[in-house]
Structure 1
Amino acid sequence: MFYQILQLAIQALQRQKTRAILTMLAIGIGIASVIVMMAAGKGIEGLVLGQLDVFGPDTIEIEVKVPNVKKTSSENAIGLTTGVTITTLKEKDIDTVRNHPNIAAANGSVMGQESVSYAGQIKKVILMGHGWEQAYVEDISMDEGRFFTKEEEDSLAQVAVLGNAVKEKMFGDEDAIGKTFYVKGKPFKVVGVMAKRGAAFFFDVDNMLTLPTKTMQKKIMGIDYVNYILARMKDGRHAEETAEELTELIRANHNIIDPDKDDFAVNTMAEARDTLVKIINGLTLLLVALVIISLIVGGVGIMNIMYVSVAERKFEIGLRKAVGATNDNIMWQFLSEALMLTVGGGVLGIVLGALVAIVIYFIATAMGMKWIFSISLASILLSLGFSAFIGILFGVYPARKAAKLDPIEALRRE
C-alpha cells in the first residue's frame, strides 16, 4: 500500500513538473544557504584562529580598554574604533611586564599610517613601531638582513625593517638592505626584510613597515604611550596565573583600585581563542536562524501550493474515494507529495550548498587564506531533517483537508 501511495504521489508531481521544480528550488536555495553559512562559519573560524596561532600559545597581550566596560564588550570595541584614545600604557608598564618572573620577553607597540617617499615615489604605508624584542616575541623570520637591536631602539636610530610585500612595492628585485627612504622628511635606513607572514588579526603584516617603537613615538608620532604590549611567557601552562599577576601590577602602576576602572586588559591566547570562537559561532547561528525563517516562509508557500493542488484535484480525490480509497490513503498521498517536494529540495540544497562552499574554498585558498573546507554530517542530517519537518508541518493540513472531502460533493462539482 505504501509503495502504491508513493507511486501516485510521484505521478501527481510529474503532471505538474514546473510547479514541483520551482517549489523544490525555493526550498533548495534555503537549505543551500544553511549549508554555506555553516561551512563559511567553520572556514572563518579556522582562518581567524590560524591568524591567532601566529602569536603562539605562550604569548600574552596587554591592550588598552575603555574604563567601566568589560574588555570583551561591544561598548569597548565601539569606543576604541570611534575615536576614544587611551594613553595610559607607558614604558613603565612594559618594564613591569618584562620583569615578571614568567616573562621571557616583552615589547610595546604603536601603529600609524604615513606617506613614505623613495626615489621620487610617495606611498601610503602602515607603520608599526615595535620594540627590539619583537622578533623573539612573534618568532619573526628574516628574508634579508636583520631585526633592529636594543642599542638602535634606545638611541632612537632611524632604521627600518620592511614587510615582504612593502619591499617588493618599494624596491622590486633590488637589494633593499642599506637603502634609504623618507618618512616626514626624515631618512630611514633599511636593515632587514621579513619573510612572508600573511595576516594576523586581519592586518596584512607583509604590507607593513616596522620602525623601533621609541623612534616612532618620538620622531614620527610625538607620543609617549603604546597601543598594546605583547609578551612571550617562559611557561605557557601558567598563563592565567601570569595574567592575574600582571593585572594587579599594572593596576598599581595606574593607581587603580576599582577593577571596573581598568583602562587596560590582559589577554591570554586561550581567552582570545575562546572569545573569537564564541563571536563566530554566535554570528553563524544568527545567520542560520535568518535562513530558517526564510525556509518557514517557503513552507507557507508549500502549504498554498498544496491547497491549490487539492482544489484542482477534487474530481481525482472523489473518484479514488468512490473506488475504495480511505481517508488515510488520501492524506498520506498528499503528505507524501509535500515531503517529496521539501526533502527533494533539501537534497538539491545540500548539493548546491556543497558546490558553493567548494567555490568559496578555492577562491579563499587562491587569495592565500588558510581556509578550512568543512561540511559536517551533522549539517547534512540537520538540513534533511528540517526539510522533512517543513514538509510535514505545512503539508499535513492541506492533506487532511483533501482526506475529508466528501466524494459525492467532489464528483458532483466536477
Structure 2
Amino acid sequence: MVAGASRGWPRSCRGDASMRFLDLLRSVRFVVGGRLRALLTLLGVMIGSGSIVVLASLLRSGEAALLRASQEATESDLVQVRREEANARDRKRTRRELSRDDARALRASGGIRGFDAQSESTKRTEAHASDKKTSITLVSATPAARSLYRLELARGRFFVDADLERRARVCILGHEVWQKLFGDRGFAGFEADELPRILVEGHTWTVIGVLVNRPIFGSTDSTDIWNRKVLVPETTYDAILSPNHAVNRIYVRRTDTAEVTTPLSTLRSIVSSTLLRRHLGVKNFKIEDDESSSQDRLILSVVELLLLSTSLMALLVGGINIMNIMLVTVTERTREIGIRRAVGAPRRAILAQFLLEAAAVSSIGGAFGVLGGVGISWLLAQVMTQVVGRWDHHVEPWSIGLGLGLALVTGVIFGFYPAWRAARLDPIEALRIE
C-alpha cells in the first residue's frame, strides 16, 4: 500500500494540508503523465493565455500603426476649426474669413492658456522637376507642424524659425512626390550638398527634406495624403499665394508643458466665442468634434472585447480538459487517497492536494502559453512589417498578468469538483479498489 501511495505523496502521508514543493512537482508529473497526455492537458490553457498576449499585442500595435497612417491630426486633446460657407442669411453681412490672425488671437486668448493654435493653408496644384510632373497638395507649415502631424523625415531637415523669418523658398516633399519627380536619383543630392529643386506655381523651391513613406490602408487618388503633399514655410506661402493670409484650418491643442485640465467642451466654447467676435457675429467656420476618433476608439474596444472573449472560451475549453484529467487522476489514485485517509489525513488535506495540483497544472500551461504568445506576437510583427510597413512589436504587461491570472483561476475553478470528489471518498471503499 505504501508503494501505491508514493506515486502521489512520497514524503507527505502525514494528515496536514502542507505540501512540499518537490512533492507538488511529482504530483503534477503524475497528473500530466506522458508527453501526449501533457500536451492535451495543457493545450487549452496554453492557447487561451497565449492568445490574450498575442491579441493584446496586435491591437496595441495596430492602433499605433493606424495612428501613424492617419492622414490628419487626430490627437484626443485637439480642437479643429475649418473654413465653411456662412448660411444664406449671413452671406450679405460684413464678415472676416478664417485667417492667420484668428490663430494669433486664439494663442493670445487668456481663456485658453496652456494651449497653442496653428493654422494651415492648402492648395492643390502640380510640381515639376525636369520633364516630370505630379499632382500635389501644397501645405503651409511651421516648425510646430512636425509634432502636430506626427511627421518623420527620411532625409534632410525640417523647417526652422529662420526659414519663416526670411521667407525662404524651401520645401519638404512627401515620399511619393520624391519618387515620381526624382525616382532613381535617390538621396544623392543631400549627401553632395547639391539640393534638388522643383517648380511649383511658377516659383523654384529648394528641397531640404523628404518625409518617410506614410502609406494608407486601401487606395485613393487624392493628393490629401502625406505621400503626395509638399510643405513650404507659412510666411513664404502667404507672400506668394495668399496675401490675405486666409487659411483652411486652425488647430488648437494643449502644449507639452501645459498643466491645465480645461475640458474640450469648454475649449470649444471659448474658441467659438472668440472667432464669432472676430468674424463680426457671422459663423463662417465649423468646429469639428472628435466623433471620428471616438468612434475609432469604440470600434477598437469592441474588437478587443470580442477577441478577448474568444480567448476566454479557449480557457474554458482548457478548464474542462483539466477537470476531465483530474477526474481520471482521482480514479487512478483512489488507493492512494484511501491510504492517506486511513493514516489520518483529513478531507481538507485531500482537497488542498488536488486543488494545488490542478492550479499548478493550469499555471504551467499559462506560463508556456504566455511565453509562446510573446514569441508569436514578435513573429507576427515581422510579418506585418513586410506586408503593411512599419509594425512595432508591443507586449502589454497587463496581458501577461491577465493570462497567468486567468490560467490559475481556471485551474482552481475546474479543479474544485475533482478535488471535492477525492476528499469525499470513503477510505474503506477506496482501499478495496484494485
Distance in 1 between residues matched to 2:281 and 2:314, nearest whole Å: 54
Taking a change above 3 Å as real, the CA distance of residues 234 and 375 of structure 1, as seen in their structure-2 partners, is closer
Distance in 2 between residues matched to 1:312 and 1:166, nearest whole Å: 73
Taking a change above 3 Å as real, the CA distance of residues 249 and 11 of structure 1, as seen in their structure-2 partners, is closer
Tell whether 2:165 aligns with 1:162: no
Q: Deviations over 1:261-301 (max 9, x none)?
A: x952267xxx9999988986786566445423432342233
Tell whether 2:49 aligns with 1:35: no
Q: Deviations over 1:122-154 (max 9, x none)?
A: 98x7x43524xx24451588949999999x9xx
Describe the SS at the equivalent of 2:250: strand
Taking a change above 3 Å as real, the CA distance of residues 337 and 21 of structure 1, as seen in their structure-2 partners, is farther
Tell whether 2:112 aligns with 1:92: no
Taking a change above 3 Å as real, the CA distance of residues 317 and 347 of structure 1, as seen in their structure-2 partners, is same
2:128–2:199 CA contact under 8 A, matched in 1: no
Amino acid at match of 1:97: D
Describe the SS at the equivalent of 2:98: helix
Distance in 2 between residues matched to 1:165 and 1:206, nearest whole Å: 9
2:133–2:180 CA contact under 8 A, matched in 1: no
* Deviation of 1:397 (Å): 0.9
Taking a change above 3 Å as real, the CA distance of residues 60 and 391 of structure 1, as seen in their structure-2 partners, is closer
Structure 2: runs of 5+ lacking an equivalent:
1-11, 13-18, 88-94, 109-115, 190-194, 218-223, 235-245
Number of residue pairs aligned between Structure 1 and Structure 2 = 358
Corresponding residue number in structure 1 for 2:41 = 23
Corresponding residue number in structure 1 for 2:239 = none
Corresponding residue number in structure 2 for 1:207 = 227
Distance in 2 between residues matched to 1:394 and 1:60, nearest whole Å: 49
Describe the SS at the equivalent of 2:105: coil
1:10–1:337 CA contact under 8 A, matched in 2: yes
Taking a change above 3 Å as real, the CA distance of residues 129 and 393 of structure 1, as seen in their structure-2 partners, is same
1:109–1:128 CA contact under 8 A, matched in 2: no
Q: Pairwise mapping of residues 168-247 of structure 1 onto structure 2 (< 5 A)?
A: 168-172=179-183, 173=185, 177-179=196-198, 191-193=205-207, 195-198=209-212, 207-210=227-230, 228-230=249-251, 237=258, 240=262, 244-247=269-272
Match of 1:102 among 98, 107, 127: 107
Tell whether 2:408 aligns with 1:388: yes
Kindly name which structure, 1 or 2, has the bigger radius of gyration based on alpha carbons: 2
Deviates more, 1:344-353 or 1:8-17: 8-17
* Deviation of 1:370 (Å): 8.0
User: C-alpha root-mean-square deviation of aligned residues, in Å?
Assistant: 5.7
Describe the SS at the equivalent of 1:102: helix
Corresponding residue number in structure 2 for 1:80 = none
Describe the SS at the equivalent of 1:107: strand
Amino acid at match of 1:303: M
Q: Pairwise mapping of residues 252-401 of structure 1 onto structure 2 (< 5 A)?
A: 263-265=286-288, 284=304, 287-311=307-331, 313-314=333-334, 317-318=337-338, 321=341, 326-359=346-379, 369=390, 371=392, 373-376=394-397, 379-401=399-421
Deviates more, 1:289-298 or 1:234-243: 234-243
Amino acid at match of 1:100: A
Taking a change above 3 Å as real, the CA distance of residues 331 and 136 of structure 1, as seen in their structure-2 partners, is closer
Distance in 1 between residues matched to 2:302 and 2:320, nearest whole Å: 27
Match of 2:31 among 13, 16, 19: 13
Taking a change above 3 Å as real, the CA distance of residues 338 and 121 of structure 1, as seen in their structure-2 partners, is farther
Distance in 1 between residues matched to 2:225 and 2:383, nearest whole Å: 21
TM-score using structure 1 length: 0.61
* Deviation of 1:394 (Å): 0.9
Distance in 1 between residues matched to 2:215 and 2:300, nearest whole Å: 14
* Deviation of 1:6 (Å): 2.0
* Deviation of 1:18 (Å): 1.6
Distance in 2 between residues matched to 1:285 and 1:331, nearest whole Å: 35
Amino acid at match of 1:305: I
Distance in 2 between residues matched to 1:284 and 1:144, nearest whole Å: 39
2:120–2:139 CA contact under 8 A, matched in 1: yes
Distance in 2 between residues matched to 1:347 and 1:412, nearest whole Å: 39
* Deviation of 1:329 (Å): 4.2
Amino acid at match of 2:229: L
* Deviation of 1:12 (Å): 1.8
